[in-house]
Structure 1
Amino acid sequence: MSAVGDAAAKRGTKTGTKTGDGTAEARTGLRRPSSRTWTDIAVLLLLVVVGLVGFEPSFGGYSFLIPALGGLIVGAATGILSSLFRLGLVQTVLVAIVAYFLFGTALAVPQQGILVVLPSLQSLASLAVGAVFGWADIVTLRTPIGAPQYIQVVPYVATWLVALVSTTLAARWLSTRPRAAWRFGLALLGPMAIYVASILIGTDDPFQAGLRGVTFAVLALVWLGWRRRPASSSVSPEGARRLHGRRVAGTAVVVIAAVLLGGGAGFWLAPPKDQRFVLRDEIEPPFDPLQYPSPLSGFRHYTKQVTDDVLFTVQGLQAGDKVRLATLDSFTGKLWNVTGPETSTNGSGTFNLVGRSLPKQSFVTPEARRDVTFTIETYEDVWLPSLGYPNDIRFTDGDASSATDDLRYNDSTGTAVLTSGLHAGDSYTLDATVQAPMTAADLAEVPIASVELPPVEAAPDIVTVKAQEFAASAASPAAQLEAIRLALVSQGFLSHGRASDSVASRAGHGADRVTELLERNQMVGDQEQYASAFALMARSLGYPARVVMGFAPDAADVEAAPVVEVTGDDVTAWVEVAFDDVGWVAFEPTPDETDIPQDQTPKPKSEPQPQVRQPPRMDNDDEDLLTPVELEESQEEDDGGWFDIPGWVYVLGLSILIPAAIVFIPMLIVGLIKARRATRRRAAAEGHDRVAGAWEELVDRFSELGYDVPAASTRIRVADHLDRQVAGEGAVSLRPLASTTDEAVFSGQPIDDERSAQAWSEAQLAVEAARVGLSRMRRFLARYRVRSARDWANRISRKRSDS
């Protein structure tokens, strides 16, 4: 190598860039982070941890911490290594993506990996799908979230991305730029995003909200205060020590204020749990059962059209077991259906995405059923035939085996749906808990449970009359319900309305059909009508009742063969009533008697009437006379219209107003104190006192700006001391003003208003000139300082140090 080349190489190794820490960084070799950079990285990652702990209510435990902390480590390590080896943007992104997929299997979806830790095609797909679609699923699933399997990817990708960006900013941007507070505030956006996300995708029950909020605020504020640009080197050692002491005292004040104000605001201003703004309350679940016909409305389809068709087979049933298809607790006057999401967020119509393991039912007197296998033949629907309250569902064959993420479940009713639908060849095995059979004697002393159900609408009056008539001689709730059941069974007759039945029976279970059932000389109907009538009677007495539709295979068939064929003729409906500490007890109000006697009541003969043309009917309801648009507008006006303010507006407003109050109210108070101080000095009776007041105001303002002001010294010496600190372009010498003030005070001559006003004007110009050379943060903090309070704190500090 030539001499020129050697010299160039030597210059290249010595030349460097000056970092924000004031150190020279070599252009070649490893970029080793300084101790200050390591501190910045540690604080940012700690803030991320404080934020991500808020995911606990969504996952119902700390299982999410493994993928979350794993993503934090992977992202931070990638950012640090890319800075250490000086990787470019494209190289850093490629390394980060490779690390994400390489370690993601073991951390987020180990059950899909090869030997738990090695990536597979399924685990790689879950890492990609979860990063994109997991955010939508996590706000539509019911907590605690346990499925789909890729849901754990959400905390993993969130912390991975934030840690990667935060460490990269700390190691490659903050370390090479002037250490201004706004840059560090920008670096805080990542941890703040995790904190806000844990709130938005959380639940109405926050996790340690006050403790986490105060901890996050204290760490962020202290870090911002201590990591900004250090004091100028022109300050004397004594002044530097005092400034350091003031920074310590200021930090203590910030911490105390954050704890007191933040804790108080969190206690007094935090919205109630039911008014917290979380996304899952604003986003409707993807499956809405009200978009499908009520299963009970299709009852006659099974009894007439597919009577002998094998719908599905079941293996593992016991005698008396019933297959549950749908549970209905809302009556509209026309039909029984599930409760809509606008009526109840936890009603029978709320179906949540689940995995193989289902939430366990606690409100039940349990009997276990294991390994009950359903194989679909001709049945095609979204409602999943099941048994009791399933605890575990395993799809083993057919198209359903690859559609496990389409399974939704309602744990309050034990009803499940497969949104992609069941088809011939699908097979699944479940473990379930069923309600133990209870007799009226078993329930004689048991009170009715307090269960919230939607109100019954448009129930016919005959229901209440018959319920009171049938239950008149009974005292306890169980006895009354049993009396009603026995009356229906003993007085009624069974007919499905087939051609072979002796008496016709109209389909339906609405108010008109129930009225017809109860008002005829003979009650004639099938399970659809009797279950509806019994449930309405129970509800008229104030008892929580719901209608269940399903299938009841013949007990003899269950005992005779391990595999039972379920046909359309096995369809049935029954009623469940909730008893305290027992569960939902089944009542079967349908009679078995099919030999219906002919009605002997003679029909009245009709007499011919003269033909009279009737005027058109004018009994339309008011709503029938309105157009759909007018109806919609009237409903909006009834609901409050555009005057209703969404809850998120209040949350957003409080989230802005509370920090603004913490920042600006103390500033306003300090400003008023300073204005009163200046007004009092300018309004002094004597002219020399007004001139002296101008100098005192100047000295106080300099002290509040952070300059070192001697405690006891002459005005000339104070002016010289301050001039040395403010030396620079645009600085104003304070010595002439100090001399003028001494002359005015000690000369004994009268001072006119013009001279005192000039002194105040010169003092204000000197203060403004001193402010120009200061940083924005230092000028901002001066708004919170009052010199008298600072001097008092310094005196207390000196007394303690002397003692």
Structure 2
Amino acid sequence: MSETRMLPRSPRQAAIDCAAIFVIGLAATLSFWPVFGGTAVLAAGIGGTLLGIAVGVATSLRPLRGWLMTAAGVVLALVLFGPALAVPRKTIGGVLPTLDAWQELLLGVVFSWKGLLTAQPPAEGFPSLLVVPFLTLLVTSALATVLALRLERGAPFAMLPGIVALVVGIAFGTKSPFWPALLGIVVAGVIIAWWAWRRAGWRTGLNDEVEVTNDTRFRGRARKQRTQGAIGMIVAAVVLAGAVSIPIQPASRAVLRDTVEPPIELAEYPSPLAGFRNWHKNFEDSTLMTVSGMPEGSRLRLATFDYYDGSVFAVAGTQESSGSGSFARIGDAVDVQQTGTPATVRVELEDYSGIWVPDVGFIQSLRFEGPREQALQGSLHYNGQTGTAIALEGLGTGDAYELEAIVPAQPAHEALEGSTVTDVSVPDPVVVPDLLQAWVATWGNEGQNQLENILNMQRLMQNGAFSHGLEDDTIPSLAGHGASRLQSMFDRDVLVGDDEQYATAFALALNRINVPARVVMGIYPDDGFSGGTEPVQLTGGDMHAWVEVPFEGHGWVRFDPTPPEDNDDIQPEPEPEPDPKPQVLQPPQPPEEPADMSPDTVADEGEEEEEEVEDASWVMWLWVAGGVLLLLLLLASPFIVVGAIKAARWRRRYRAARESDRLSGGWHEVVDHAVDLGLPVPAGVTRREVAGFVEGRYPRSRATEIGAFVDEGVFGPGEPAKEEVDAFWLDVERSVQGMRAEAKPSRRLLGRLSLRSFARRRKERRRR
């Protein structure tokens, strides 16, 4: 290799190395595509790959060569090109960076990793999340290029950064198993082909240095046969791996987003159903919002509840086996697998406030408007299972947004005949009032199937009385839907309440007959939306609650157990006598819900058990972390001990009192490193002979020049100058680094643990 060459490798070799790195970077970019979607991720990933390769090539040139320069080049590329590729929405024209773009870019370097795991795919519309693929490809491509251009026998290590980038893309991706398998096969084929080419070139270089024959005709034929055989083996391996692995791929795979807790815990927020009566009391005639574009018969949904703790119906927390509390951030678009009618709905808020975003169906996109657009968009979270959205920034007067959604068709109850209830897991209620259980035992099994039982209990509840308990209502009715409120509701001859009580009671009743149900709170006119684009003003009096039950082939179907608002007659209507069924009429006696136990007591015991389990898990993790740390210390202890001994010897030699002793110490340092690297240095010979022996094995040690300088300084007249000895020790360090660079990696590792040099010095002292 010529000492004047700017690059360690020829331009042709460097171009092939960079091409292989680019292909692997492209595969790693495509591994991010399922979670991002769109073309922006391709620009970020491919741009990061090209920039990384450029940085690696530039910092491998002789004037700029060095790892510090590589790190500086990566930072410079990040600052100059990061805004346009990773946060283009904050730039001017998608190219020119701004202060906001740099701020979002630098914050994304730290926070975008967790944000990507908690975002709802596709994540391309989220601010700063493109920093993840851009930064990953920039760093790994720069590192891979530097290693590929600078290493010879250790060239396979240059492919490790590309593999890391692919693993990051797969780990941060979605559950689709086919795409990562295909990319892995492609990357494996590229790495094998590239390494075969590098190894063939290295062997050819050795043959050129040691010419054994001049018959180039046979050598060329053999090289051609080897190339064809290698290509055939690579193609066969890739095809065979794909044919074997693709059919046995699982339906899904584990990804990092499965292990990350949702970014928010809605169990910490008050249930909006607890404030249901407030909307009717204080906002009965106040315009909450103006809505346009609602499909006919649809309803605006605020929140969906499936967990009853005896006090309120709420969104299940992460401790429950339910997905209603799993909210994730969404960007410009949401993947929707539902079928139904597309709708574009516009909502303008007036007196409405809260974190719950009124929506319809299943959102495909939602875009806020107004002065708080960015704050609301950044705090928007969505639950794709329940179709519920929240904005943690909080909605208020003057906010507006437009959403596109798929609205599933709601079948008539008659159309459900012959359909079965879907077996969906919902959390069991903590407490069910005894009188409600007795009511279900009496009327909950009168039909021939589950649908008839559902409709029968709905009809009986609709025969009750309606009352909000307001001043102008003729029937008193307390607010709330706790266990005691429902107990008093069923302790009367006629049921009395509004949507809050009836929806809660109906959902608990369905649970008693093993029908999964959830309560939904929303807003719609009493006569329903008629469809069309005409704006409709909704008031607090339009706030409602209902129950949904899942049916095979229909999804979640609405049921309204609440009586009509004009049904304010408290005279009991004659109810049909139930068919005597002793085995059914006996109220069930669940041992886990004794009547004399209050809901608060149950909740407290559950919290204590949860705290005990949480404490136990922390102790377990501490033990695991301590064990891992101890194991790492044990593995590293030989390197630490031997390294400390050698460092002490180096300091003793470097800080010797006489300059001539410092010269001798530097020479011994060179020889001792050669001995520790496995070189059998002869004893009892002159320094010149030892120097020739060391330099013969490690030419970069310059042992002959160092030995001659030591002989002149030690045996010459006078004491060497301190400045000359300090410069000499710099040459000693370069000599040691040169020997280590020429040694094999395994020999370098063993050299750090070797104590041969100490044994050799001890033998020399004994000989003297």
Fold shared by both chains (TM-score > 0.5):
yes
In the alignment, structure 1 segments of 5+ residues that lack a partner are: 1-21, 601-617, 654-727, 730-773, 781-803
Corresponding position of 1:154: 132
Quote the offset at 1:546 in angstroms.
Answer: 1.2
Corresponding position of 1:434: 407
Write the letter of the residue equivalent to 2:328.
Answer: N
Output the CA distance in 1 between the equivalents of 2:249 and 2:620: 22
Contact 2:480 2:500 in 1 (8 A): yes
Q: Please, what TM-score do these two structures have when normalized by structure 1? A: 0.63
Decide which of 146, 150, 158 is 1:187's aligned counterpart. 158
Decide which of 171, 181, 194 is 1:200's aligned counterpart. 171
Write the letter of the residue equivalent to 1:167.
Answer: T
SS at match of 1:454: coil
Corresponding position of 2:2: 23
Output the CA distance in 2 between the equivalents of 1:465 and 1:620: 18
Write the letter of the residue equivalent to 1:413.
Answer: T
Corresponding position of 2:719: none
Pick closer, same or farther for the CA change 1:306–1:210 going to 2, 3 Å.
closer
Decide which of 491, 511, 514 is 1:539's aligned counterpart. 511
Corresponding position of 2:725: none
Output the CA distance in 1 between the equivalents of 2:315 and 2:541: 24
Output the CA distance in 2 between the equivalents of 1:565 and 1:522: 34
Corresponding position of 2:650: none
CA offsets 1:748-803 (integer angstroms, 9 cap, x no match): xxxxxxxxxxxxxxxxxxxxxxxxxx9748999xxxxxxxxxxxxxxxxxxxxxxx
Contact 1:393 1:428 in 2 (8 A): yes
Contact 1:315 1:562 in 2 (8 A): yes
Output the CA distance in 2 between the equivalents of 1:235 and 1:777: 28
Output the CA distance in 2 between the equivalents of 1:128 and 1:108: 11
Decide which of 309, 319, 323 is 1:347's aligned counterpart. 323
Contact 1:312 1:379 in 2 (8 A): yes
- 2:295 is equivalent to residue 322 of structure 1: no
What pairs up with 1:121-132 in 2 under 5 angstroms?
126-132=104-110
Pick closer, same or farther for the CA change 1:53–1:388 going to 2, 3 Å.
closer
Corresponding position of 2:654: none
SS at match of 2:4: strand
Pick closer, same or farther for the CA change 1:158–1:643 going to 2, 3 Å.
closer
SS at match of 1:390: strand
What pairs up with 1:274-353 in 2 under 5 angstroms?
276=254, 278-317=255-294, 320-344=297-321, 347-353=323-329
Contact 1:474 1:483 in 2 (8 A): yes
Contact 1:57 1:206 in 2 (8 A): no
Corresponding position of 2:112: 134
What pairs up with 1:377-456 in 2 under 5 angstroms?
377-456=350-429
Contact 1:531 1:547 in 2 (8 A): yes
What pairs up with 1:590-669 in 2 under 5 angstroms?
590-592=562-564, 593-597=566-570, 631=609, 634-635=612-613, 642=620
Identity over aligned pairs, percent: 33
Output the CA distance in 2 between the equivalents of 1:84 and 1:94: 14
Write the letter of the residue equivalent to 2:320.
Answer: T
Contact 2:290 2:347 in 1 (8 A): yes
Output the CA distance in 2 between the equivalents of 1:340 and 1:410: 13
Output the CA distance in 2 between the equivalents of 1:54 and 1:293: 40
In the alignment, structure 2 segments of 5+ residues that lack a partner are: 574-595, 632-695, 698-741, 749-768
Quote the offset at 1:338 in angstroms.
Answer: 1.6
CA offsets 1:681-727 (integer angstroms, 9 cap, x no match): xxxxxxxxxxxxxxxxxxxxxxxxxxxxxxxxxxxxxxxxxxxxxxx
Quote the offset at 1:420 in angstroms.
Answer: 0.8
Aligned residue-pair number: 605
Pick closer, same or farther for the CA change 1:275–1:458 going to 2, 3 Å.
farther
Output the CA distance in 1 between the equivalents of 2:520 and 2:375: 29
What pairs up with 1:91-130 in 2 under 5 angstroms?
100=78, 107-108=85-86, 114-115=92-93, 126-130=104-108
SS at match of 1:196: helix
Decide which of 360, 369, 375 is 2:343's aligned counterpart. 369
Quote the offset at 1:304 in angstroms.
Answer: 2.8
Output the CA distance in 1 between the equivalents of 2:353 and 2:387: 20
Quote the offset at 1:201 in angstroms.
Answer: 1.6
Corresponding position of 1:356: 332
Quote the offset at 1:373 in angstroms.
Answer: 2.7
Pick closer, same or farther for the CA change 1:106–1:375 going to 2, 3 Å.
same
Corresponding position of 2:492: 520
CA offsets 1:447-479 (integer angstroms, 9 cap, x no match): 333434334443345545534644545335444
Write the letter of the residue equivalent to 2:508.
Answer: L
Q: RMSD value over aligned CA atoms? A: 5.0
Moved runs in structure 1, 4+ residues, more than 6 A? 88-95, 238-268, 270-275, 556-561, 618-630, 637-641, 643-647, 777-780
SS at match of 1:382: strand
Write the letter of the residue equivalent to 1:304.
Answer: K
SS at match of 1:475: coil
Pick closer, same or farther for the CA change 1:317–1:275 going to 2, 3 Å.
closer
Write the letter of the residue equivalent to 2:132.
Answer: V
Write the letter of the residue equivalent to 2:161.
Answer: G
Output the CA distance in 2 between the equivalents of 1:560 and 1:622: 48
- For the pair shown, the structure with the greater C-alpha radius of gyration is 1
Output the CA distance in 1 between the equivalents of 2:100 and 2:413: 53
Q: Please, what TM-score do these two structures have when normalized by structure 2? A: 0.66
Output the CA distance in 1 between the equivalents of 2:615 and 2:97: 57
Pick closer, same or farther for the CA change 1:135–1:193 going to 2, 3 Å.
same
SS at match of 1:340: coil
Contact 1:463 1:540 in 2 (8 A): no
Output the CA distance in 2 between the equivalents of 1:320 and 1:216: 53
SS at match of 1:394: strand
Pick closer, same or farther for the CA change 1:310–1:640 going to 2, 3 Å.
same
Output the CA distance in 1 between the equivalents of 2:162 and 2:613: 43
Quote the offset at 1:227 in angstroms.
Answer: 4.1
SS at match of 2:413: coil
Pick closer, same or farther for the CA change 1:622–1:305 going to 2, 3 Å.
closer
